[in-house]
A and B are shown apart, each in its own frame.
Chain A
Amino acid sequence: MISSQNRDPSRISANGLTVRFGKVLALDHFTINIPRGIVGLLGPNSAGKSTFIKTMLGLVNPQSGEMLIDNVNPRTDITTVRDNIGYMPENDCLIDEMNPVELVSYMGRISGMEKNDSIQRTHEILDFVGLGEERYRKIGSYSTGMKQKAKLAQAIVHDPNILFLDEPTNGLDPQGRDEMLDLIKKIGKSGKTLLVSSHILHEIEQVSSYVIIINHGKLVKDGPTQELMNPDKTRFRLKIRGETSAIDRFLHSIETRVEVISRIDESNQLSLSIICGKGNSFLFASAREHGIQIRHFGPDTLTLEDVFVQTFQGGG
């Protein structure tokens, strides 16, 4: 079974989900339990991220497998499921002839909101996403960043418990990305589950509490972000300075107790990534013995990019 099965009660789960488009196998017996919070869905292009989201939304019919969203099977009760979901598509989908007030309130109404409620809520949401000043302009005249905000607004107008955000920062400049990530964080604070699909790992690293890595339609790795970035907690970063011969003697003296993962020559110092067991006082003793200065010693965490690269280098 999957590795996250004993974590928080999952809101989204899939078991053996298979989706095929002709000869292309988009999801290959995909199995996952997705916990609450902001969850990053990572993978290279054509990995199956969007297909997984659309399958959960009922926009794609799987050939086999089971799925549950808040304990409701989308295949048998898609209307109930969709009532609890907001979806921000990756591609352009907005109705250019409308302004955001019309569009978002329209989406609110077809999500079951009363007309007056939907208009009131629309204005709140447009203020929230930062489109307050431009709310009566036709969407066709919007920039990419504004369109992304409008897409997010229509996805959250009915206050869904689960949000699927497909590449929310696509096409945004750095400031726009920061704004969008900030919005995602704020929504995440409200206790909702956000499944954020992206191939920009740095962004996911910033906002997500849980990460799913997918490739060729299969689950490659998943887990809490911090655990993935520092999986065994015995990895440290050691920066030392001293004579070259002294450094060689120092490294020779500790090599029986420490595994050096990487070694980077920086200006006037050497940066080492090491793995060592409990107790590390011998490092300091040996350094003193060989006249080496220890400039830095602390846990060495990976970036998601490192995790991603390592994952795929390892056969993922």
Chain B
Amino acid sequence: MGINPIEYKPWKKKRGDHKKRFLSISSNVFRTNLKSKAVLGIIIIGLLLTLVIPLLGAVLTPHEKLTKDMAVGVEEDREDDLETFGNFYINGDMNIEGSLSLQGMLTLDGNVFGTGMYTSANGITSETGLNVSGALDINGTAFLDGELTGTGTIYGFGFIEGKGNLSGDWSGEATVFDNITEDIQRIRDDREMDNPDSSPDQKDGQTTNPVDDDGTVPPGSPPPYPPPEYRMNLTGDLGTEGDLLVDGEISINGSFYVNGYLSLRGSVEGTIFFDNHNMLAQYGELTMAGSVMVDGEAGLMGMLQGEGIIIGTGFLNGTGNVSGSLSQEDITNIISMDCGDDDDDTSSEDSLFVEGSLTIEGDVLCAGDIGIDGSLYIDGVCVIMGNVTGSGSLEYKSTEMFHGEVYVMGAFDTNGTVVVDGSLNGAGMIMGTGNINGTGMVHGYFEPDEETYKEDEEIKTRLLEMESENEMSSYYSSQTSGFLRNELVVIFTLLLASIICADLISKDISNNSFVLYFSRSITTRDYISGKFIGAAVTLGLYTFIVPVVVALAIIGTQTGSDYSTSFVVLGLTVAGALITTVYFIPFGLMISSFTKRPSYAGVGIFMSFFVLIIISEIFRMFDKRWMLANPASILDFTYQLLFDRALPSQITGSMVAGILLTFLAIPLAILYINIHRKGVGR
């Protein structure tokens, strides 16, 4: 290559303002990001996953206007409540003033005090005991080696077992659980000693069903009438881990659970609680030849099969299944306990509650309530005068009361109140004079035939009125978080911010190109502003599109004329999207300025947030204010402040604002110092 003959030419045009030159950096960042397949890919995938469904919901669901509920969800009363899906370990005491709901296990080395309510799906373990002034609702097992004392109420579907004492002012009296099985055995032995010549099957001239050696009862046996002296009366609770064979009658004022094999030939009065998971696995079925008188509760955790009759006015509840060989007569009897009262009594005593599944081939007539946490399948005529509540499903097929098929996911109401926590689907008629409310979904196909046209029209009208009463559409009522508080959007935003910010500073470090910027009329502030705005515009392609497009779609398809409210919410939504956009970038840029490897920076940004979330989730159990360490929670709280919503107790608006500003300002300050040192300090 020879010497280049081209001469140097001066350039004399006027140059632009210094203050706007950072925009050139922003523009370059934006254009570079748009060339990045990773960035574009995540934006597109994110939009597909987070925009389509809310957008369809917005367009397809009738609504009057854009409301705050649609943006940030239904306002929840979070005051003093704590809900967790993980396990909970406390080394000290626990004082509950509000409610505590745990899906996991609560392990306590200390005491529980307070007037609040504790509910658990998995139970509680305590070595030192519990003092409950409020309510203790245990749906799992409570292992109690200490003492349980207090004046509150204990209820639920779980067990209390252990070596401790149970005392207090509630229904039960102090019982040493270890001795329960021995007590039962002793009763049985005493009975045999007192009547050496008479079998349990022949007592006082009455015939009870024979019991095989394995404890089962042949099907078809008539109901037993055990002699009074064989009655086992307990004022406390009764539980056993072993098998139990009862030939006589059991009367229990407390609770009764059996975790082993159970064969009943006598009748049971009082509260009975079956936990027959093991029995089902080992023996296949529970045979119940006698009658079970249920004046309290009958809880079924396992499978209940047999030809016995369950009668009474109490509850039948639990998490087990009731199915199989039950005849229509049996079913009628089951339900008939609810029909005992002529009054339209909605008290709990006239209720059927099933946590498992219940299949009924016959008709159902129920004057009381029906609660379903499992599934309820009815193929006959169903007339329900009471309430239907729960989170399970109800499937109903009939040609008389219902035209076609009604499929109820969660809740269904006729003349009472229906609380829909799940969804109510169907193509039949929904009859009744009650309300439908709740947070679930109500939709279906209601096309009537000619005969029922008029009636169906009325129902449709009524249904819409019911929704209107609750001032929310059924679709949005199920979206408790709102389109702005979509957790998936936060995850994609974080992912996108990690990728966008990762190489913004780190590549300049690795290329040593700071000197290119700072040998020009670019200050550290210009440099950071340029990078920040470029990243924000790129990130905004995602963070703005999702909420703003949904909000605009809702406004565009609203049926009402109150556009002023809609536009106020739209403005708040834009502000929320702006906060989302700028929220992660300072931190991302700061991390990027710590390393010359973009991959390290990207992982560092994502993991930093992840670690903060984990730390927050761990320590929030001890103090709610640790939620402020969770960047996602801060964003969530900010939305709530923006939309004038209540924050959780112990957390104030000034705290959120302070942390938010700290989260923005401190990374920017560190970034400034870092860049200044790298660019100007040497």
Task: List chain A positions with a Cβ less than 8 A from chain B.
Answer: 21, 54, 57-61, 78-80, 82-83, 85-87, 89, 91-97, 106-107, 109-114, 117, 121, 124, 127-130, 154, 156, 158-159, 175, 178-179, 182-183, 186-187, 189-190
Contacts of A97 in B (CB 8 A): 32, 507
Known contacts A83-B521, A94-B513, A178-B3; is-contact A61 B680 (Cβ 8 Å): yes
Q: A-B pairs with CB below 8 Å: how many?
A: 127
Contacts of A127 in B (CB 8 A): 6
Return A135 CB to nearest CB of chain B, in Å: 14
Return B19 CB to nearest CB of chain A, in Å: 9
- Docked complex: B1-36 residues within 8 A CB-CB of A: 1, 3-4, 6-13, 15-18, 21, 24-25, 27-28, 32
Known contacts A61-B680, A93-B512; is-contact A79 B519 (Cβ 8 Å): no
Complex Cα–Cα for A86 and B680 (A): 16
Contacts of A175 in B (CB 8 A): 1
5 contacts between A and B (CB under 8 A): A80-B521, A114-B16, A156-B8, A158-B11, A190-B8
Which of B13, B16, B519 lies in contact with A59, CB distance below 8 A?
B519
A59 lies within 8 A of B515 (CB): yes
Return B305 CB to nearest CB of chain A, in Å: 71
Closest to B521 in A: A79
A59 lies within 8 A of B521 (CB): no
Complex Cα–Cα for A58 and B679 (A): 10
Closest to A157 in B: B11
Contacts of A78 in B (CB 8 A): 521, 523
- Docked complex: B490-519 residues within 8 A CB-CB of A: 507-508, 511-519
Known contacts A82-B521, A83-B15; is-contact A95 B513 (Cβ 8 Å): yes
Return B552 CB to nearest CB of chain A, in Å: 32
Known contacts A95-B507, A128-B6; is-contact A112 B519 (Cβ 8 Å): no
A130 lies within 8 A of B513 (CB): no
Contacts of A111 in B (CB 8 A): 15, 21, 520-521
Complex Cα–Cα for A113 and B15 (A): 5
Main secondary structure of the interface of B (DSSP, over half): loop
B11 lies within 8 A of A79 (CB): no
Complex Cα–Cα for A82 and B520 (A): 5
A187 lies within 8 A of B3 (CB): no
Closest to A107 in B: B516
Complex Cα–Cα for A107 and B515 (A): 11
Contacts of B27 in A (CB 8 A): 109
B522 lies within 8 A of A110 (CB): yes
Answer whether residue B682 sits at the interface, using C-beta atoms and an 8 A cutoff: yes
Interface residues on B, range: 35 or more
Q: Which residue of B11, B25, B27, B514 has the most chain A CB atoms within 10 A of its CB atom? A: B11
A94 lies within 8 A of B511 (CB): yes
A112 lies within 8 A of B3 (CB): no
- Docked complex: B316-334 residues within 8 A CB-CB of A: none
Question: Which are the 7 A-B pairs with shortest beta-carbon distances?
Answer: A112-B15, A87-B519, A159-B11, A109-B24, A79-B521, A112-B16, A130-B4
Complex Cα–Cα for A91 and B515 (A): 10
Complex Cα–Cα for A82 and B522 (A): 9
Return A103 CB to nearest CB of chain B, in Å: 8
List 5 additional A-B contacts (Cβ < 8 Å) besides A110-B517, A124-B9, A127-B6. A83-B520, A106-B28, A114-B13, A158-B11, A158-B15
Task: List chain B positions with a Cβ less than 8 A from chain A.
Answer: 1, 3-4, 6-13, 15-18, 21, 24-25, 27-28, 32, 507-508, 511-523, 679-682
Closest to B17 in A: A112
Contacts of A183 in B (CB 8 A): 4, 8
Return A133 CB to nearest CB of chain B, in Å: 10
B679 lies within 8 A of A110 (CB): no
Contacts of B682 in A (CB 8 A): 21, 54, 59-60
Contacts of B6 in A (CB 8 A): 127-128
A113 lies within 8 A of B16 (CB): yes
Return B530 CB to nearest CB of chain A, in Å: 8
Which of A94, A95, A110, A182 lies in contact with B24, CB distance below 8 A?
A110
Which of A86, A96, A106 lies in contact with B511, CB distance below 8 A?
A96
B21 lies within 8 A of A112 (CB): yes
Complex Cα–Cα for A85 and B518 (A): 11
Closest to A86 in B: B519
Return A212 CB to nearest CB of chain B, in Å: 20
Contacts of B523 in A (CB 8 A): 78-79
Return A229 CB to nearest CB of chain B, in Å: 25
A93 lies within 8 A of B21 (CB): no
Contacts of A58 in B (CB 8 A): 518, 680
Return A29 CB to nearest CB of chain B, in Å: 21
B28 lies within 8 A of A93 (CB): no
B10 lies within 8 A of A190 (CB): yes
Return A22 CB to nearest CB of chain B, in Å: 11
Which of A86, A156, A159 lies in contact with B12, CB distance below 8 A?
A159
Which of B4, B7, B511 lies in contact with A95, CB distance below 8 A?
B511
Contacts of B32 in A (CB 8 A): 97
Complex Cα–Cα for A97 and B522 (A): 21
Complex Cα–Cα for A186 and B5 (A): 10
Return B514 CB to nearest CB of chain A, in Å: 8
Contacts of B4 in A (CB 8 A): 128-130, 179, 182-183
Q: Which residue of A59, A94, A112, A190 has the most chain B CB atoms within 10 A of its CB atom? A: A112
Closest to A96 in B: B511
Which of B18, B24, B518 lies in contact with A106, CB distance below 8 A?
B24
Contacts of A129 in B (CB 8 A): 4
Complex Cα–Cα for A110 and B8 (A): 21
A60 lies within 8 A of B680 (CB): yes
Contacts of B15 in A (CB 8 A): 83, 111-113, 158
Contacts of B512 in A (CB 8 A): 89, 91-93
B9 lies within 8 A of A82 (CB): no
Known contacts A79-B523, A112-B521, A154-B516; is-contact A179 B18 (Cβ 8 Å): no
Return B26 CB to nearest CB of chain A, in Å: 11
Contacts of B7 in A (CB 8 A): 128, 186, 189
Complex Cα–Cα for A297 and B680 (A): 55
Contacts of B12 in A (CB 8 A): 159
B18 lies within 8 A of A79 (CB): yes
Known contacts A110-B24, A179-B3; is-contact A159 B511 (Cβ 8 Å): no
Complex Cα–Cα for A83 and B519 (A): 9
Return A110 CB to nearest CB of chain B, in Å: 5
Return B624 CB to nearest CB of chain A, in Å: 46
Complex Cα–Cα for A128 and B11 (A): 13
Which of B25, B507, B511, B680 lies in contact with A110, CB distance below 8 A?
B25
Return A23 CB to nearest CB of chain B, in Å: 15
Return B39 CB to nearest CB of chain A, in Å: 14
Closest to B24 in A: A109
Contacts of B680 in A (CB 8 A): 58-61
Contacts of A60 in B (CB 8 A): 680-682
Which of A79, A93, A109, A114 lies in contact with B516, CB distance below 8 A?
A93
Contacts of A128 in B (CB 8 A): 4, 6-9
A113 lies within 8 A of B13 (CB): yes
Complex Cα–Cα for A163 and B6 (A): 19
Complex Cα–Cα for A250 and B514 (A): 66
Return B483 CB to nearest CB of chain A, in Å: 37
Contacts of A107 in B (CB 8 A): 516, 520
Known contacts A79-B523, A158-B11; is-contact A112 B18 (Cβ 8 Å): yes
Contacts of A87 in B (CB 8 A): 515, 519
B515 lies within 8 A of A186 (CB): no
Complex Cα–Cα for A156 and B3 (A): 19
A182 lies within 8 A of B18 (CB): no
Return B520 CB to nearest CB of chain A, in Å: 5
Closest to B28 in A: A106
Return B112 CB to nearest CB of chain A, in Å: 60
